[in-house]
Amino acid sequence: MRDPLELFRKWFEEAKASGLDLPEAMTLATAAAGGPSARTVLFKGVDERGFLFFTNYESRKGRELAANPRAALVFHWAQEPRRQVLVTGSVEKIPEAESDAYYSTRPVGSRLAAWASRQSRPIAGREELERAYAEAEEAHGDDPPRPPYWGGFVLSPETIEFWESRPSRLHERLRYVRDESGEWQAGALAP
């Protein structure tokens, strides 16, 4: 396949159809002055710009992306056929209107939680979080607007690597690299 985004969509649809729990879970790796870090976030779509995800911009990952707007994503689907996809590239915020549109589709509880949680910041305990949630519910009711510190990012892929398990650890690996003209160049890698 010449277009790695088309191949990714095919693999993602196959992972969803397989009954795999949370096929949209992906590892997001960032790096800033403190060194590399990784966490699992939810993939929310892919388009001509790249791979979309949403988060609190003031979280550790948000601050790291502000300091160094480059990242890697890893999708790992452990169910047969066992597959992984590794994506690297630059990251930028998406337009506020697009973040607003997605935010409005989230369950009310999740929207209130975005107001209540100062993600990645220390708290005294669960009670503090529950109190902040109650305050958000009091302030915003059942239609909370998007907090100004919450929204989407898009990772514009520069490399996409596909890995599929094979017997005797002779796995299949295919890497696509975007060249200077924006075209994708594909090549096999040793496992």
Q: How far apart are CA 136 and CA 131, in angstroms?
A: 9
Environment class of 61 (CB within 10 Å of its CB; exposed 0-12, middle 13-18, buried 19+): buried
Residue for token pair 């973040």: 99
**Catalytic member of 82, 131, 169, 173:** 169
CB 178 within 8 A of CB 186: no
Residue 82 annotated among the catalytic residues of the structure: no
Single out the residue of 40, 31, 106, 112 nearest to residue 76, CA to CA.
40
76-79's contacts with Cβ under 8 Å and 24+ in sequence apart are 76/27, 77/11, 77/15, 77/18, 77/20, 77/23, 78/20, 79/15, 79/18, 79/19, 79/20
Calpha distance 134→7 (Å, rounded):
44
The DSSP code for 134 is H
Q: Which residues are catalytic?
A: 169
